[in-house]
Amino acid sequence: MTGEERGPDVEAYAGLGDWTPDSLAVPGVVRAVVSAPDPVLSRAADEVDPTAEETIRLAADLVATMKVSPGCVGLAAPQVGVGARVFAVDVTGHPKAVTVHGTFVLCNARVVEATRWKPGREGCMSVPDLTGDVKRASRLVVEGDLPGSGEPVRLVTDGFEARALQHEIDHCAGLLFLDRVAGAHAIYQRKVYL
90 binds other proteins (CB under 8 A): no
Q: How far is the CB of 167 from other proteins (least distance, A)?
A: 4
121 binds other proteins (CB under 8 A): yes
Q: Is the peptide bond before 50 cis (omega within 30 degrees of 0)?
A: no
The reply to whether 107 sits in an annotated binding site is no
Q: How far is the CB of 114 from other proteins (least distance, A)?
A: 16
Residues 141-180 that bind other proteins (CB under 8 A): 160, 163-164, 167-168, 177
CB within 8 Å of 130: residues ≥ 6 apart: 123, 178, 187, 188, 189, 190
Q: Are 149 and 23 in contact (CB under 8 A)?
A: yes
Among this protein's residues, is 168 annotated catalytic?
A: yes
For the chain, report the end-to-end CA distance as a whole number of angstroms: 47
CB within 8 Å of 33: residues ≥ 6 apart: 65, 69, 75, 79, 80, 125, 126
Residues 10-69 that bind other proteins (CB under 8 A): none
Q: Which residues are annotated as a binding site?
A: 124, 167, 171
Residues in contact with other proteins by the rule CB under 8 A: 71-74, 94, 96, 120-125, 131, 160, 163-164, 167-168, 177, 184-185, 188-193
